[in-house]
Amino acid sequence: MSENQTYTLTINGLKREVKDSWIGESLLYVLRERLGLPGAKGACEQGECGSCTVMVDGAAVCSCLVLAASAIESDIKTVEGLAPDGSLTDVQQSFIDNGAVQCGFCTPGLIVAIHNLLDSRPAPTDLEVREAISGNICRCTGYGRIFAAVQDVIEQRGATK
Amino acid sequence: MSTVKTRRDVLGTNALRPDGAAKVKGEFSFSSDMWSDGMLWGATLRSPHPYARILRIDTSPALAIDGVRTVLTAEDVPGVLTYGLIDQDQPVFAVDYVRYMGEPVAAVAADHPETCRRALAAIVVEYEVLTPLTDPEMSLDDSVPAIHPNGNVFRHQRIVHGDTSVVGDVVVEGEYEIGMQDQAFLGLEAAMAIPDSDGAGVELHIATQWLHEDQKQIAACLGFPVERVRLVLGGVGGAFGAREDISLQVHSCLLALATRRPIKMQYSREESFFGHVHRHPARVQIRHHAKVDGTIVKIEARMLFDGGAYASTSSAVLINGITHIQGPYRCPSAVVDGFAVRTNNPPCGAMRGFGVVQACYAHESQMDRLAEACGLSHVEIRLRNAMRTGDTLITGQPVESVAPVERCIRETDALPLPPPLPETPNALELPGGTGLTSRRENIRRGIGWGVSIKNIMYSEGFDDYSTARCTLKDGVATLKFATSEVGQGFVTLAPQIARSVLGINDVVVEPMDTSIGSAGSTSASRQTWMSGGAVDGACRLVRERLFEHVGTTNGIDALRLVIDDDEIVDTMGTFRIKVADAAPGIRFEETFEHHHRPTEDLDENGQGNCHVAFAFVAHRAVVDVDVELGLVKVVQVATAQDIGRALNPLSVQGQLEGGIAQGLGLAVMEEVIVQDGRVRNPSFTDYLLPTALDAPEVVYSLIEEPDPQAPLGAKGVGEPPCISVTPAIASAIRQATGRDIRRVPVRPQDICL
Per-residue pLDDT reduced to its tens digit, B659-669: 999 999 999 99
Picking from A1, A88, A137, the nearest residue to B114 by CB comes out as A1
**Are B401 and B298 in a shared domain?**
yes
- The last residue of a domain, from among B573, B595, B617: B595
Residues B307 and B432 grouped into a single domain: yes
**B287 in the same domain as B264:** no
Residue B22 falls inside a structural domain: no
Answer for the pair A15, A8: CB distance below 8 angstroms, yes or no: yes
Which has the minimum average pLDDT: A27-36, A133-142, B402-411, B426-435? Answer: B426-435
Q: Which pLDDT score, from 0 to 100, does residue B2 have?
A: 39
Q: Is A101 found in the same domain as A63?
A: no
pLDDT tens, position by position, B603-616: 999 999 999 999 99
pLDDT computed for residue B359 by the predictor:
98
pLDDT in tens, B269-328: 999 999 999 999 999 999 999 999 999 999 999 999 999 999 999 999 999 999 999 999
pLDDT tens digit sequence for B334-369: 999 999 999 999 999 999 999 999 999 999 999 999
Query: Is B170 contained in some domain?
Result: no
- B158 found inside a domain: no
pLDDT by residue (tens digit) across B511-561?
Answer: 999 999 999 999 999 999 999 999 999 999 999 999 999 999 999 999 999
Assess whether A90 and A33 both reside in one domain. no
On the question of pLDDT at B92 being above 90, the answer is yes
Distances from the Cα of B567 to the Cαs of B3, B4, B497, B562, B584, in angstroms? 13, 11, 16, 8, 14
End-to-end CA distance of chain A: 54
B60: helix, strand or coil = helix
Domain-terminating residue out of B595, B614, B649: B595
Binned at pLDDT 50, 70 and 90, residue B5 comes out as very low
Claim to verify: residue B363 and residue B424 sit in the same structural domain: yes
Tell me the residue range of the domain where A137 lies: 84-159
| Residue where a domain terminates, one of A32, A66, A81 | A81
Model confidence over B143-195: pLDDT tens digits?
A: 999 999 999 999 999 999 999 999 999 999 999 999 999 999 999 999 999 99
Range B144-152 contact pairs with CB under 8 angstroms and sequence separation of 24 or more? B147/B51, B147/B97, B147/B99, B147/B309, B147/B342, B147/B343, B147/B344, B148/B89, B148/B99, B148/B309, B148/B310, B148/B342, B150/B87, B150/B89, B150/B311, B150/B342, B151/B342, B152/B341, B152/B342, B152/B343
Instruction: Identify whether residues A17 and A28 lie together within a single domain.
Output: yes
| Spatial distance between the Cα atoms of B663 and B690, rounded to a whole number of angstroms | 10
Is B20 close to A96, i.e. CB distance below 8 A? yes
Instruction: Show the domain range for B65.
Output: 31-131+188-238+243-268
Quick one: B525 and B672 in the same domain?
Answer: no
User: What CATH number corresponds to the domain at position A118?
Assistant: 1.10.150.120
Distance CA B63, CA B73 (A): 13
Do B352 and B215 lie in a common domain?
no
Task: Give the model confidence (pLDDT) of B708-745 as tens digits.
Answer: 999 999 999 999 999 999 999 999 999 999 999 999 99
Contacts of B428 in chain A (CB under 8 A): 127, 130-131
Question: Do the Cβ atoms of B566 and B6 come closer than 8 Å?
Answer: yes
CB atoms within 10 A of CB A15: 8
**φ, ψ at B177 (rounded to 5°):** -135, 140
Together in a domain, A133 and A106: yes
The amino acid at B655:
Q
What pLDDT was estimated at residue A86? 87
pTM of the model: 0.97
| A32 shares a domain with A17 | yes
Q: Say yes or no: A115 and A152 in one domain.
A: yes
Domain-terminating residue out of A81, A104, A134: A81
Distance from CA of B681 to the nearest CA of A (A): 13
Q: How many structural domains is chain B composed of?
A: 3
Q: What's the pLDDT at B8?
A: 82
Which residue does chain B place closest to A137, by CA atoms? B691
Mean pLDDT, rounded, for B225-239: 98
Whether A8 and A77 share a structural domain = yes
DSSP, res A32? I
Alpha helix segments (H runs only) across B157-293: 211-222, 249-259, 269-275
For residue B585, give the CATH number of its domain. 3.30.365.10
User: How many other β-carbons are positioned within 10 Å of the β-carbon of residue B18?
Assistant: 17
For residue B396, what is the DSSP state?
S
Measuring CA to CA, how many Å separate B39 from each of A40, B111, B224, B259? 21, 8, 23, 10
What is the least distance, in Å, from the CA of A158 to any CA of chain B?
22
What is the four-CA torsion angle of B606, B609, B615, B617, rounded to 10 degrees? 30
Q: Which of A105, A111, A117, A130 should we substitute to test contact with B (largest number of B Cβ atoms within 10 Å)?
A: A105
CATH no. for residue A31?
A: 3.10.20.30
Q: Report chain B's mean pLDDT, rounded to a whole number.
A: 97
Hey, are the CB atoms on B695 and A79 less than 8 Å from each other?
no
Q: Averaged over B383-390, what is the pLDDT?
A: 98
pLDDT class of A1 with cuts at 50, 70, 90: low
Q: Which helix (H) or strand (E) holds A109?
A: helix A107-120
Same domain? For B396 and B474 the reply is: no
What integer pLDDT is reported at residue B12 of this predicted model?
97
Which bin fits B625, alpha (ψ -120 to 50), beta or left (φ > 0)?
beta
Phi/psi at B518 (5° precision):
-65, 150
How far apart, in whole angstroms, are the C-alpha atoms of residue B334 and residue B298?
5
- Report yes or no on B3 lying in a domain: no
Inspect the interface and report whether the beta carbons of B691 and A134 lie closer than 8 Å: yes
How many domains are there within chain A?
2
Sign of CA dihedral B57, B61, B62, B63: positive
Yes or no, beta carbons of B487 and A143 under 8 Å apart: no
Tell how far CA A65 is from the center of its chain. 13
**Contact residues for B675 (Cβ-Cβ < 8 A; gap 6+):** none
- Please tell me the distance from the alpha carbon of residue B138 to that of residue B125, in angstroms, as a whole number: 29
The values of phi and psi at residue B245, to 5°, are: -90, 160
Amino acid at B1: M
Question: Which among B244, B142, B128 is positioned nearest to B183, based on CA atoms?
Answer: B244
Q: What mean pLDDT do residues A88-103 have?
A: 98
Percent residues over pLDDT 90 in chain B: 97
Question: What pLDDT, on the 0 to 100 scale, is given for residue B623?
Answer: 98
Residue A72 shares a structural domain with residue A93 = no
Are residue B486 and residue B346 in the same domain, yes or no? no
CA distance A44 to chain B (A): 5
DSSP letters, B408-455, are HHHHHHHSPPPPPPPSS--GGGSTTGGG----GGGEEEEEEEEEEEEE
Q: What is the mean pLDDT of residues A61-80?
A: 97
Residues B511 and B230: their CA atoms lie apart, in Å, by: 13
Domain boundary among B595, B615, B631: B595
Query: What was the pLDDT predicted at A127?
Result: 95
Q: Under a CB-based contact definition with an 8 Å cutoff, are residues B401 and B614 in contact?
A: yes
Residue B1 confidence (pLDDT) above 80: no
Q: Are residues B700 and B658 in the same domain?
A: yes
Residue B92 burial (CB count, 10 A): 26
| Residues A24 and A88 occupy one common structural domain | no
- Does A48 lie in the same domain as A114? no
Cβ–Cβ below 8 Å for A142 and B691: no
Residue B24 inside a domain? The answer is no
From CA A43, how far away is CA A110, in angstroms rounded?
Answer: 13
* Residue B7's pLDDT band (cuts 50, 70, 90): low
Task: Please tell me whether residues A32 and A77 are part of one structural domain.
Answer: yes
Say if B332 falls within a structural domain.
Answer: yes
Q: Are residues B209 and B335 in the same domain?
A: no
B553 lies in the same domain as B664: no
Question: If you count them, how many residues does chain A have?
Answer: 161
- Tell me, yes or no, whether B382 and B316 share the same domain: yes
Same domain, A14 and A76: yes
Helix-, strand-, coil-residue percentages of chain A, each rounded to 5: 40, 20, 40
Report the half-sphere exposure of B681 (CA within 13 A, side-chain side): 17
Phi, psi of B675 (to 5 degrees): -125, 125
- Predicted confidence at residue B214, as pLDDT, reads 98
- pLDDT at position B3 is 42
Residue that terminates a domain, selected from A48, A81, A114: A81
Q: How many Å apart are CA B2 and CA B66, to the nearest integer? A: 71
* B140 domain residue, yes or no: no
Is the ipTM higher than 0.95? The answer is yes
Question: Closest chain A residue to B722 measured between Cα atoms?
Answer: A142
Task: Verify whether the Cβ–Cβ distance B693 to A131 is below 8 Å.
Answer: yes
State the CATH number of the domain containing residue B122. Answer: 3.90.1170.50
Asked whether the beta carbons of residue A106 and residue B186 sit closer than 8 angstroms, the reply is yes
